[in-house]
Structure 1
């Protein structure tokens, strides 16, 4: 009979932690949602009657998963305490539960063990484990600096142009700066940013925070390293910046053309106001969730374009959701290479590895399935149209937060589906699948190759 020592058991647990850091990330998010739900259930969190369990759970999940979908009117239903809880949950969710926990460990002990570094790497998508400690510090510093700058601009604008008391202007500035940088989309105005549709001093700082937060940490940190010339940026950074620029410009043109004459959205604005509104919608549709026009009044074809932008999302390793611009770009390059008959998928004079191609395809197909199946089920059991349901489901899965206005009207079990979608969308299908896998399996042999007929 073989006995194991306590040290051996501790070592076994350490190995388990190192093998499955994704499970700890999931546990951290679940814990944050649970605590947030309990806090929002407190009578002090609501302005009137206490929140129901579903209202608290949905709001906490939406905040931690930086989505922005709501079943209650945030500035009306929640008290100042409730708004503060939501703000903290947004910040925790944006930076990553494990990122915050690991950073506290750095500040206390000045040292991270391997398991902690693996957890942080899984949360921040850091490439090099040796750089995790420095990355964690930079993550928080970068977030605080950008949020502080944006909050300052917004505070001054709210106080000067809208005659808000300094304290209230500061609170609005801080809340929307944090919500914008973390791509959360929660607003302290019942109409989101619709009252400021033509005010560049409000919408542009929020859009700036949204774009930077959605680029992803690896990209932002590489760009900020002045000693690295753009020509020597990594392929990941080049793809992310190029796709972001193309989607921002393309989305702006799309919204401008699609909604130019719509009197319920942009029809009543001048040319400058329409361009600004279109740029805002293009920016926010890629997982931020603020809206400066009435989303529910957009044309059906505009909904479809918005769904596509939401599905693509932002950059990897940031606060954005969706399948990510790099995934979309890799699939586009693979298709283009196949159409040309090129045996290699290349971009910026580099071959894309087969493993990366498989990951992109897996993620995209999983995302399609995760969106389509709930859409079919909810459409069959609700009075709403398929385009409305598809919009809400995509918004939840991509952690965008834009809504046609039906979320609060859905039955509780449909809202539970959206809660699950927000959770999966924040962690990512591949991360979730990896965390649930018992162990990685290796093969000692390879089977003979075959080529089924395609098409």
Structure 2
């Protein structure tokens, strides 16, 4: 008979954690979805008839995966208890994503060689498991500060400008602050933010919360730490900030030009600019809308799909393939067009492994979006542009909708549930798996070059 000491068992558990990080993460999120589904099935969770299993499962998945797609009208269908369950699930999902991303960053940095570990440390800002506790505290503190500040502004605005009782104003303020920071997109108004399209005191704080949440903890901490010395920012932080600004400005200009009088005809010039900014910020990947998404032009849908697909920053609460992935691919293409031997950005050479990982994530994401789109289009009465919009929104955990989600067959809604789950955890676990699977061969095969193009 063999006996093992407590220290030995702890080491065994640590090894198991390093070998199966993805499995543990998936199990944790599945558990949260299961508990949320059971709570939403309770009669007290609904205002009228109890929710069906599909309604409860879809809503719980959307909340935990901080997506925002709905099959019921949130403020009408769910009771105060149901709304509270959704809020808790959103917070668990958002904090869980940021924590998981940072913890896996720690794991990656410990499994790589020295040179790769230094690169990982530059983005995660943690290189040892001893920093985990401090990192977890920072995740919670950042969420509390941002959500608290936004909730305070929204509460005062709802109470003063819209004559809501203080208790209701406080609930609306807290709910939308949490939903915004976690890029969830759930709203307690049937039209999302459409009734506040001209109110910067509502739209701007929520947009700021979504942007900060989408940047990710490493970026926010590094900006705060080195705010007076931006030259010392890591490549990850520089790429994330640059792409965020470009997509925000470019997206706002795109909405302003393509929509015009279509969905913003009743707004003045200043209000159109505000609405365009709100749409641009929330298309990556928060899911709030201050104009009618279903009434937008087809070309605006296509532009929104692109913004949703790119998504937010790595390690943040947003989804998509991430701005760093898109930036790496863009730099690789530009370098190839110029005949450059290396892909360089901000005086740094992007490693070949990073380029391969970016290409893998992007192409797998395309396949994950295209295949369900083809299947649902073949079996539903809706147009392919509507289906593509919904599928992309689910996979990128955005939550914007053309209005057909609730009308889809239950088995199509199951597909969206799976896509939300894959989109929430897939890029994180896939990126970690690719980094952990990096191996070194003692030989290389003879080089050959097939004809391209």
Deviations 1:282-335 (A, max 9, x none): 000010000000000000000000000000001110001000111100000000
State the distance in 1 between where 2:333 and 2:357 align.
Answer: 15
State the distance in 2 between where 1:159 and 1:421 align.
Answer: 38
1:22-421 equivalence runs, <5 A: 22-96=22-96, 99=99, 126=124, 128-130=126-128, 131-226=131-226, 229-262=229-262, 265-421=263-419
Q: Which runs of 5+ in 2 are unaligned?
A: 111-119
Give 1:452 deviation, angstroms. 1.4
State the distance in 2 between where 1:436 and 1:235 align.
Answer: 20
Q: 1:427 aligns with which of 415, 425, 428?
A: 425
Closer, same or farther: CA 204–115 of 1 in aligned 2, 3 Å:
closer
Closer, same or farther: CA 246–163 of 1 in aligned 2, 3 Å:
same
Closer, same or farther: CA 259–438 of 1 in aligned 2, 3 Å:
closer
Closer, same or farther: CA 34–436 of 1 in aligned 2, 3 Å:
farther
Closer, same or farther: CA 5–451 of 1 in aligned 2, 3 Å:
farther
Q: Is the 8 A contact 1:14 1:115 kept in 2?
A: no
Q: Is the 8 A contact 2:377 2:384 kept in 1?
A: yes
Q: Is the 8 A contact 1:19 1:439 kept in 2?
A: no
State the distance in 2 between where 1:436 and 1:44 align.
Answer: 44
Give 1:439 deviation, angstroms. 7.5
3-state DSSP of counterpart to 1:96: helix
How many pairs are equivalent?
Answer: 437
State the distance in 2 between where 1:135 and 1:14 align.
Answer: 18
State the distance in 1 between where 2:288 and 2:168 align.
Answer: 20
3-state DSSP of counterpart to 2:261: coil
Moved more, 191-200 or 420-429: 420-429
1:107 corresponds in structure 2 to: none
2:117 corresponds in structure 1 to: none
Q: Which runs of 5+ in 1 are unaligned?
A: 104-113
2:113 corresponds in structure 1 to: none
1:21 corresponds in structure 2 to: 21
State the distance in 2 between where 1:77 and 1:436 align.
Answer: 42
Give 1:272 deviation, angstroms. 0.8
Q: Is the 8 A contact 1:303 1:391 kept in 2?
A: yes
State the distance in 2 between where 1:427 and 1:384 align.
Answer: 28
CA RMSD of aligned residues (A): 2.6
State the distance in 2 between where 1:318 and 1:97 align.
Answer: 7
Q: Is the 8 A contact 1:214 1:319 kept in 2?
A: yes
Give 1:137 deviation, angstroms. 0.7
Closer, same or farther: CA 50–441 of 1 in aligned 2, 3 Å:
farther
Deviations 1:14-62 (A, max 9, x none): 4222222121111111111011011111111111111111100000000
